[in-house]
Chain A
């Protein structure tokens, strides 16, 4: 038999002012199962809590209903009091007499009878409450950071500097990402590599960081604190331990005309190559798709050139399995190529380039050593046109969002051009200038006022070649929409920032959600901006949405802080409000029929398949099982279950039906 205690709080005059607390106390005493019913001026005060504790002991209560304020306010207080008296805290419920009754109704009989109803509802519920125990999950204190751009580097360094282990996985042969490609950065015009490369070296030398370059995430299983990741380390064809990075192999390679990815296609590289001189690790990699040996079966010039015999043509992809407690996704972005724009010549005009290519042209380490030359004939352009919002904010192109950084880097490009070609003319076609950020607006004004870059508010409808030049046709909407035609030597398109082409498959591997543009979706746009809806997975940088370097670094540090918060304890303790699939005696084992509707409804991938087998291993049936480390306790699966085999602890069907019956 249940032995329920009801404790009615006056909350000074807050409840007692409109509700007849004595009448509620009397009525509560009449409810079957209630063995103790008292009222008191302030239940949450020490004497009030002591009354509850004493009653639990003296009357051997099996459940407690505190009729006071909102459970969102004091449920933890009263549950703690119950726990101190030896009653399982989940056998305590609160009836909300203040926010939902006394404060919102007039003083009359109706209000008191509503208060009695509220108490009765909760008494019926608490009779059916089961003792629940916090779920403890161990934490593996190693973080996996996916992506070695500035986001991944920052997150990895922050975690490693705090004393925790990090495994950093980068797909390319070197870390550094897009930031390593940039010439200067806005709004300070400091050299990108100067600020980035020391960080890259720090990553490589950090005792807490294990770096895997030329590697990708193959699989990710498990849940918060207990992930198991498989990393595919692609065959570099180099023994990284013996290679000294002398570069003799690169000089000997016969293939020298492969477009360099690092130089955004503007420079050339060999088949055995280091992406850029400051690469970390500074070890070459053989590009099997181009290498003569891999294509024709002979050559091996590099092998002969290598003084340390580090070339391994027979190297295979390696699979590394690691246990990690948290994952930071920092896989970055891609920019649209010029071939995306039919109106601008489908990328067939060599002198129409992307902003990223311009970065390489302007960079001192780039293919032209920082001299701005147009790709077709190497002429220094006298007139240059920058087109902002190329693809961005254009629903017709399927990219409705703003790429956020183009306004700033276009101003920077125009400025860099003017600093290098003093007599040159620079035009910028723009829709709006979005220069929100510290010193950003001032930076754009400087480009316009000091460096005399001509800003034209309007879009470019067409670009076509004429007599060795490019005719840019646009409109100036600030001059009564007058058509504008500019004969330019070179055009730079600030093409849209888009998600990585394989962002979707990565999201599926990690079981996290992504938006319509394949950017990874954070758990809450405002309050949980670095967490993903799968617990234990965090996000940093432009794989979540377009963002600039300061924002990326801030988000990466935030993600690192979240990881460190998670790693600050040896075990995670969670509220046991989670779903459970029932289990019963053979031959049913569970009423679950294995339809897995719950699996498709679960936003957290908490539903697992469990095979029930006989002792000799014969499969009886496959049923659902809830991973309690992952389940967040929303109960969507419960409402969906056709065989009513899954139930939510703390809000079970039995409890809620009992509440209704009490009405």
Chain B
């Protein structure tokens, strides 16, 4: 698939990675356009359901990034995020989610070039891996793990029917 362009969602903290990405901009360092950033106060704020929702919405890859350990603006939020991630990746692995599609990286406010490199690496890897249709197919259409909203649709009620179905399957 030579002309496939992955969609990457990045969950970043306001104080380090968001500022780092600002620095990438002010330094005019070019990187892959595929990434869409969601600004959060802290990586500790990242409920990992957000990651699943992003995959459910059709993201091909995800980047989670915040302050380096010890540098958290809120003292320890990134430690919570790291600990949570260690558990969550095992769950993802167990679910059969392709872990190569999730990048976890520390990017400080001074590491503009590192941010560009992380996005470029993720984009290049995901181009090789191809689209991640598997996730919506398996977890959304079949199991009904999420309610997925399409553009132009009004936000639907939670897919209760699908959930009941999945319980029966289980």
Which A residues contact B (CB, under 8 angstroms)? 32, 70-73, 96, 98-101, 103-106, 110-111, 114, 117-118, 121, 513, 523, 533, 577, 601, 603-604, 632-636, 638-640, 648, 651, 653, 656-657, 659-661, 663
Contact = CB atoms under 8 A, between A and B. Distances in A.
Given A70-B22, A603-B77, A639 B46 contact: yes
Contacts of A70: 18, 22, 25
A660 B54 CA distance: 6
B44 A639 contact: yes
A599 B5 CA distance: 43
A641 to B, nearest CB: 9
B40 A103 contact: no
Contacts of B58: 663
A105 B30 contact: yes
Interface of B: 5, 7, 9, 14, 18-19, 21-22, 24-26, 28-31, 33, 36-42, 44-48, 50, 53-54, 57-59, 73-77, 80-81, 84, 116, 149, 152, 155
Nearest to A636: B44
- Interface pairs A-B: 4 shortest CB-CB: A99-B25, A635-B45, A636-B44, A634-B74
Contacts of A533: 75
A114 B47 contact: no
B41 A634 contact: yes
A533 B74 CA distance: 8
Given A121-B36, A661-B57, A104 B44 contact: no
Contact of B74 (A111, A118, A636, A663): A636
Contacts of A118: 36
Contacts of B47: 638-639, 653
Given A110-B5, A118-B36, A636-B77, A663 B44 contact: no
A639 B22 contact: no
A603 B75 contact: yes
> Which of B7, B29, B53 has most chain A Cβ within 10 Å?
B53
Given A104-B29, A636-B76, 10 more contacts: A70-B18, A99-B25, A100-B25, A104-B30, A601-B80, A634-B73, A636-B45, A636-B74, A639-B84, A640-B80
Contact of B28 (A73, A103, A111, A114): A103
A553 to B, nearest CB: 27
Contacts of A96: 22, 37
Contacts of B38: 121, 656, 659-660
Contact of B9 (A103, A110, A663): A663
Contacts of B22: 70, 72-73, 96, 99-100
Contacts of A633: 41
22 contacts: A72-B18, A72-B22, A99-B21, A99-B25, A104-B25, A104-B28, A104-B29, A105-B31, A106-B30, A601-B44, A634-B42, A634-B44, A634-B74, A636-B45, A636-B80, A640-B80, A651-B41, A656-B38, A660-B38, A660-B53, A661-B53, A663-B54
Contacts of B73: 634
A648 B152 contact: no
A656 B52 CA distance: 13
Q: Is the interface of A mostly helix, strand, loop or mixed?
A: helix
A34 B164 CA distance: 36
Contacts of B76: 603, 636
Contact of B50 (A71, A101, A657): A657
Contacts of B29: 104
Contacts of B26: 99, 103
Contacts of A72: 14, 18-19, 22
Contacts of B116: 104
Nearest to A122: B39
Contacts of B74: 603-604, 632, 634, 636
Nearest to A601: B80
A663 B7 contact: yes
A87 B11 CA distance: 29
B45 A638 contact: yes
B42 A636 contact: yes
A656 B48 CA distance: 12
Nearest to A71: B39
A604 B74 CA distance: 9
Contacts of A651: 40-41, 45
A635 B50 contact: no
A651 B31 CA distance: 27
A106 B37 CA distance: 18
A657 B44 CA distance: 16
> Which of B5, B28, B31, B36 has most chain A Cβ within 10 Å?
B36
B71 to A, nearest CB: 9
A634 B45 contact: yes
B61 to A, nearest CB: 12
A659 B45 CA distance: 15
A663 B36 contact: yes
Nearest to A650: B41
Contact of B152 (A32, A635, A640): A32
A2 to B, nearest CB: 13
Contacts of A106: 30, 33
A597 to B, nearest CB: 11
Contacts of A653: 47
Given A32-B152, A663-B36, A635 B42 contact: yes
Contacts of A32: 152
A542 to B, nearest CB: 22
Contacts of B9: 660, 663
A118 B59 CA distance: 15
B106 to A, nearest CB: 16
A636 B155 CA distance: 27
A115 to B, nearest CB: 10
B73 to A, nearest CB: 8
B100 to A, nearest CB: 20
A660 B30 contact: no
A106 B31 CA distance: 9
A103 B116 CA distance: 12
Contacts of A601: 44, 80
Contact of B24 (A99, A114, A638, A648): A99
Contact of A663 (B31, B41, B57): B57
B50 A660 contact: yes
A31 to B, nearest CB: 9
Nearest to B155: A661
A101 B59 CA distance: 19
Given A99-B25, A118-B36, A639-B45, A657 B77 contact: no
B80 A98 contact: no
A663 B6 CA distance: 13
B154 to A, nearest CB: 8
A659 B10 CA distance: 12
B8 to A, nearest CB: 10
B57 A660 contact: yes
> Which of A71, A99, A110, A577 has most chain B Cβ within 10 Å?
A99
Contacts of A659: 38
Contacts of A648: 41, 45
A174 to B, nearest CB: 37
Nearest to B76: A603
A639 B84 CA distance: 10
Contacts of B33: 101, 105-106, 110-111, 114
A110 B39 CA distance: 21
